[in-house]
Amino acid sequence: MLVAGMLAAAGAVFVWQAALLDLGNVALPGPGFFPLVLGAAVMIFATVIGIDCWRRAGAGTIELGHRDVAIVIVALLAVPLVFELLGANMTLGLLGAALLVLIGRVPLPLAILAAGLGMAACWYFFQVLLGLQLPAGPL
């Protein structure tokens, strides 16, 4: 429940800070739109998780240092280091493929295909629909 509370607090900070920015509208979202949506989603999901934990208090053991959690943390910490060097699409594709292979135990060819589709969806959403220019990288 402590982690759910901390996540809800982080979501509240996102909502608070996003409310200080221009939200824009649905056709042209401003810089505060996505942080507001993300913060609200984090708060809602953290609340649901907290309520579920409260209902099942003492129902099981808690394991700290889980292998999958460590993989995700290391992968997410590597993203900002290579984001501009490799570009947004390549970095997000590598992240997706690595998580699918290491955590989801998806075969490598299928993970590469799924990551490629995800990269194409990110490119279409951010560059075509929203008109944003993300770091291109060497490719």
Burial group, residue 31, by CB count within 10 angstroms (0-12, 13-18, 19+): exposed
Task: Give the pTM.
Answer: 0.59
Task: Determine the Cα–Cα distance for residues 49 and 47; give it in Å rounded to an integer.
Answer: 5
Nearest to 135 by CA among 86, 94, 100: 86
Domain ranges of the chain: 2-55, 67-129
pLDDT per residue rounded down to tens, the chain (139 residues): 788 889 999 999 999 998 888 888 777 788 888 889 999 999 999 999 888 888 877 656 666 677 888 888 899 899 999 888 888 888 989 999 999 999 999 999 999 999 999 999 988 988 888 888 888 877 6
Could you tell me which residues are beta bridge partners of residue 48?
A: none
Question: Contact at 8 Å (CB) between 22 and 31?
Answer: yes
Question: Contact at 8 Å (CB) between 127 and 133?
Answer: yes
Task: Determine the Cα–Cα distance for residues 65 and 10; give it in Å rounded to an integer.
Answer: 22
Question: Contact at 8 Å (CB) between 93 and 119?
Answer: yes
